[in-house]
Amino acid sequence: EVIVRTAKAMVDTGLRDLGYQYVNIDDHWHANARGKGGVPLANPKTFPDGIAAVADEVHALGLKLGIYSDAGSMTCGRCFGGFGHERVDAEAYASWGVDLLKYDYCFAPSSATEAKARYGAMAEALRATDRSIVLSVCEWGFRKPWTWAPALGGSLWRSTPDIFDTFSWNPLGVRFIARRNLKLADHAGPGRWNDPDMLLVGNHGGGKATGELHLPNQLPKGLRGRKLWSFRGLTDDQVQSHVTLWAMMAAPLLASHDLARSSEHDLALLTNPEIVAIDQDALGAQGRLVRSKPGLWQVVKPLADGGFAVSVTNLTRVPRQTAIDVGAIARSGAAPTVSRTYAVTDAWALEGLGTPATLRAQLPGHGSVAFVCRPTADT
């Protein structure tokens, strides 16, 4: 019910028409045990008609279905894992109509060699089916998957540990997750994406996975899962910066909240057409940190039309002013086409600004601005 309701909300809110494609089932969809011959079974209470029936409803809405498993003996939530069952699992996913597999790495050996072997086994099993299924590698960036996942068949890979619903907490708040991912621009491109984890839009500190810090499930019973800390969530300015940075990094935009309970502000963040277009630009380039003054990040992302997007994020709690030299960015080689002038759009305000040589903005604490600069005919 939740999955189908979410799919319908994606249609009703306009997310589908903007390019959001996948409705992903995460952990705990599993039955208590596998079936005869090791076949994976869904929980009969939460999926009484099976996963295939859910896939049919999702596909009927013009969307795709993702599912979750793990390269270890168990998933992170202690359901049955995929190790040793790659072929039977892949065949089941294909028969159900699954379009994407997020493959986690709990309860698995720490070595990079073993991780490559386990992800390779699942990638091979998926290719052997009669269905195209995207493989999302999720080992949290510990073994540099950007260097080996593409060759195995991974289309996206988690480049960082799990994100938490806070802006500045080191090491897992928004700014520190973004800083890790910004260093990996050379490894991104069409069909190969750095994934700095889900969006926190709409959680407001209430997400179980993102709003509370727990001890790992792998620990002995008694310590396992104990809550250590609760986060308050992001302010409006912080969450706008979060979405800005993810779009500039060409990151997968994965909403993690109940879409049916989205506020107007939540939906405005997810459905801004200029921001989504920056993220989904056909060139597939990840933005680069080109200027890092104390407390300010300037990120530039080349675009397929020969222009570029530029954002500035205020990392401090106090308001800051910024000035962006449009021509200097183009001459630096950051833009595919050097034009005498650029038609500039304020991406968040959805407002054309003409062809200014310099962009000036006042940034609130932890706030961001983003501009799209398109070459004019006067090149």
Are 294 and 360 contained in the same domain? Answer: yes
20: domain CATH number is 3.20.20.70
**Alpha-carbon torsion 274, 171, 255, 81, what sign?**
positive
Concatenating the DSSP letter of every residue in 214-235 gives E--TTSPTTTTT-EEEE-----
27 is catalytic: no
Q: Tell me: do 34 and 94 sit in the same domain.
A: yes
Final residue in a domain of this structure, among 247, 279, 311? 279
Domain limits at 107? 2-279
186 and 326 share one domain: no
Read off the DSSP letter of residue 287. P
- Asked if residue 321 and residue 238 are part of one domain, the reply reads no
232 and 293 part of one domain? no
Query: Residue 214 has what pLDDT?
Result: 76
Indicate the range of 202-206, 247-251, 304-308 predicted with least confidence.
202-206
**pLDDT for residue 231:** 86
Catalytic-role residue among 26, 162, 237, 258:
162
Overall number of domains in the chain: 2
- Separation between Cα atoms, residue 259 and residue 63, nearest integer Å: 15
Examine the domain organization and report whether 318 and 257 are in the same domain: no
> Does one domain contain both 127 and 13?
yes
pLDDT of residue 378: 66
Domain end call among 253, 279, 305: 279
Model confidence at 379: pLDDT above 60: no
* SS3 at position 59: helix
pLDDT in tens, 140-184: 999 999 999 999 999 999 999 999 999 988 888 999 999 999 999
Domain limit, last residue, from 235, 260, 279: 279
**Residue 136 is inside which H or E element, if any?**
strand 134-137
Known catalytic membership, residue 104: yes
Taking only the tens place, the pLDDT of each residue in 90-102 is 999 999 999 999 9
The answer on 310 and 188 residing in a single domain is no
Q: Using one digit for the tens of pLDDT, what is the confidence trace for 326-373?
A: 999 988 888 888 888 999 999 999 999 999 999 999 999 999 999 999
Alpha-carbon distance of 101 to 224, in angstroms, equals: 26
Inform me whether the pLDDT recorded for 226 exceeds 60: yes
Name 262's Cβ contacts closer than 8 Å, sequence gap at least 6: 9, 13, 202, 270
Cα–Cα distance measured from residue 106 to residue 219, given in angstroms and rounded to the nearest whole number: 12
Note the pLDDT tens digit of each residue in 65-110: 999 999 999 999 999 999 999 999 999 999 999 999 999 999 999 9
- Does residue 150 share a domain with residue 126? yes
Asked whether residue 170 falls in the same domain as residue 200, the answer is yes
For residues 78 and 227, membership in a common domain is answered with yes
Pair of tokens at residue 125: 């099993």
| CATH code of residue 349 | 2.60.40.1180
Taking the CA atoms of the chain, what radius of gyration do you get in angstroms?
21
Residues 16 and 29: beta-carbon distance below 8 Å: no
Q: Are 236 and 305 within one domain? A: no
